[in-house]
């Protein structure tokens, strides 16, 4: 790979150099072992497996991390999509940012109600679900129990961008024997920049000029990526190598790969989605805008060109919990909100079926 100087004097990290220079996370063995059992189990039953990534990655500024940079994502897209993949009979590996939204429990967390508000005390003193939530909770519970009974959902957490990249590589390698039955649905918001291990300071960066010598250490060491310059904190990040290219070409060449593209400028969305599709040559880019992502997305694929998917006006969810039509007790289906993932996932599954048929 051609080398290009960075402002910090370091050459950009190639995909292979990345793993040589940045240590594997302590959790990787456990992640690998859980995923291997899960994939083998579903491969034996010829069930399709979707790897759904969800939530934002962090970029720690210190080894003993007090401060970090974060990427925006509550995990709604990933957690909601995972439920619809399970309903479409996929087994789902849910690689998610720790403490972000999870399939099923998402209906009761991060909402305006505390989970205790869904409960009440019965006349006999037992804690029970409030009558007004019984129907909805029972529907969610049944789907959750089915996923557990079928061993169809594996939850794997990450926090940092480094953990995410190591996990993604390991999972893609394990999924390779699934061939076309494997699906990558990359909804996580992954940092484009990071602090390489050799430029990360050990201790908390001191803001007081009287203590900035604290992380000084070895004068021959690489220039720290984050350090005080007078009263300012100066942060100088390296680009994260473009792992989507490696995923498509080497780690998962036969699987279907769907990436997401988040933008804030409507004028750029379609162009950036086409650019990504051309650059990485995978199957589908789903473009979305920060402010409208809950009710419209743009599909860009080689097979289907450009296609908007929209929740009709009047059916847009107002709250994060966005109860689904079948969970509403006696509510008119004309007014019940539609989750856009209920439109996205069947389209993706259909494209996946076409790909499997072709392969
Ligand atoms: O998790 P969420 O529902 O709050 O947000 C989802 C999203 C916007 C992060 C996702 O749809 C997405 O676009 N992910 C890729 C982000 C990127 O361009 O890296």
Residues present in the chain in total: 359
Give residue 7's pLDDT: 44
Choose which CATH entry (3.40.50.10300, 3.10.150.10, 3.40.50.880, 3.40.30.10) describes domain 17-195+237-358: 3.40.50.10300
Supply the DSSP symbol for 22. S
Confidence class for position 6, pLDDT limits 50, 70, 90: very low
* CB neighbours of residue 219 within 10 Å: 5
| Residue 214 confidence (pLDDT) above 70 | no
CB-based contacts of 183, cutoff 8 Å, min separation 6: 48, 49, 50, 51, 90, 255, 256, 257, 258, 348, 352
| Residue 138 confidence (pLDDT) above 60 | yes
* ipTM, two decimals: 0.99
Give me the residue spans of the domains in the chain.
17-195+237-358, 197-236
| Residue 330 confidence (pLDDT) above 70 | no
Please compute the mean of the pLDDT values over residues 213-232 and round it to a whole number: 77
**Ligand 1 nearest-atom number relative to CA 286:** 13
**Residue 143 backbone class (left: φ over 0; alpha: ψ -120 to 50; beta: rest):** alpha
Please compute the mean of the pLDDT values over residues 258-265 and round it to a whole number: 98
Does the C-beta of 272 come closer than 6 Å to ligand 1? Answer: no
Q: Are 310 and 295 in contact (CB under 8 A)?
A: yes
| Residue 155 confidence (pLDDT) above 90 | yes
Does the C-beta of 96 come closer than 6 Å to ligand 1? Answer: no
Query: What is the share, in percent, of the chain residues with pLDDT greater than 70?
Result: 89
Q: Classify 7 as helix, strand or coil.
A: coil
Give residue 109's pLDDT: 87
Q: pLDDT by residue (tens digit) across 287-307?
A: 999 999 999 999 999 988 999
Q: pLDDT by residue (tens digit) across 123-137?
A: 999 999 999 999 999
- Give, for ligand 1, the residue of 100, 242, 262 to mutate: max count of ligand atoms closer than 8 Å to Cβ: 262
Give residue 113's pLDDT: 81
| Residue 212 confidence (pLDDT) above 90 | no
| Residue 122 confidence (pLDDT) above 90 | yes
* From 105-119, 158-172, 345-359, the region with the lowest mean pLDDT: 105-119
Report how far ligand 1's centroid is from the alpha carbon of 39 (Å): 26
Please compute the mean of the pLDDT values over residues 163-192 and round it to a whole number: 98
Please compute the mean of the pLDDT values over residues 106-134 and round it to a whole number: 92
- Give, for ligand 1, the residue of 73, 83, 106, 191 to mutate: max count of ligand atoms closer than 8 Å to Cβ: 73
Give residue 9's pLDDT: 47
What is the C-alpha separation between 77 and 63, in angstroms, rounded? 30
Does the C-beta of 76 come closer than 6 Å to ligand 1? Answer: yes
Confidence class for position 332, pLDDT limits 50, 70, 90: very low
Q: pLDDT by residue (tens digit) across 35-46?
A: 999 999 999 999
Structural tokens at position 15: 């995909």
Give residue 354's pLDDT: 97
Give residue 58's pLDDT: 98
Does the C-beta of 73 come closer than 6 Å to ligand 1? Answer: yes
Give residue 217's pLDDT: 61
- Tokens 């509510």, residue located: 331
Confidence class for position 336, pLDDT limits 50, 70, 90: confident
Report how far ligand 1's centroid is from the alpha carbon of 289 (Å): 9
Report how far ligand 1's centroid is from the alpha carbon of 259 (Å): 10
Atom 13, ligand 1: residue with shortest CA distance: 262
Q: Are 4 and 143 in contact (CB under 8 A)?
A: no
Report how far ligand 1's centroid is from the alpha carbon of 94 (Å): 15
If you average pLDDT over every residue of the chain, what do you get? 90
| Residue 223 confidence (pLDDT) above 80 | yes
């Amino acid at each position: 790979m051609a080398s290009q100087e960075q402002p910090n004097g370091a050459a950009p990290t190639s995909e292979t150099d990345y793993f040589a220079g940045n240590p594997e996370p302590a959790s990787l063995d456990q992640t690998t072992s859980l995923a291997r059992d899960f994939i083998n189990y579903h491969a034996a039953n010829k069930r399709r497996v979707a790897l759904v990534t969800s939530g934002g990655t962090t970029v720690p500024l210190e080894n003993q991390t007090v401060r970090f940079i974060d990427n925006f994502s509550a995990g709604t897209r990933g957690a909601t999509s995972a439920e619809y993949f399970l309903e479409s009979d996929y087994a789902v590996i849910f690689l998610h940012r720790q403490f972000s939204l999870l399939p099923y429990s998402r209906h009761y967390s991060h909402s305006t109600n505390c989970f205790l508000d869904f409960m009440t005390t019965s006349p006999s003193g037992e804690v029970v679900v409030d009558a007004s939530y019984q129907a909805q909770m029972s529907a969610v519970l049944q789907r959750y129990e089915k996923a557990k009974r079928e061993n169809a959902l594996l939850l794997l957490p990450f926090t940092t961008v480094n953990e995410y990249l190591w996990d993604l590589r390991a999972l893609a390698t394990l999924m390779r024997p699934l061939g076309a039955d494997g699906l990558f649905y990359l909804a996580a918001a992954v940092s484009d920049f990071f602090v390489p291990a050799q430029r990360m300071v050990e201790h908390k960066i001191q803001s007081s000029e009287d203590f900035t010598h604290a992380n000084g250490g070895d004068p021959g060491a690489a220039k720290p990526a984050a350090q005080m310059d007078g009263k300012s904190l100066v942060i100088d990040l390296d680009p994260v190598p473009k792992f989507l290219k490696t995923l498509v070409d080497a780690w998962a060449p036969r699987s279907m790969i769907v990436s997401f593209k988040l933008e804030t400028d409507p004028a750029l969305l379609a162009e950036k989605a086409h650019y990504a599709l051309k650059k990485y040559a995978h199957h589908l880019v789903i473009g979305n805008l920060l402010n409208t992502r809950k009710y419209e997305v743009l599909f860009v694929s080689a097979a289907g060109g450009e296609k908007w998917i929209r929740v009709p006006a009047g059916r847009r969810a107002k709250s994060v919990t966005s109860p689904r039509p079948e969970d509403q007790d006696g509510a008119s289906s004309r007014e019940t909100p539609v989750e856009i993932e209920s439109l996205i996932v069947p389209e993706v599954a259909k494209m996946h079926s076409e790909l499997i048929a072709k392969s």
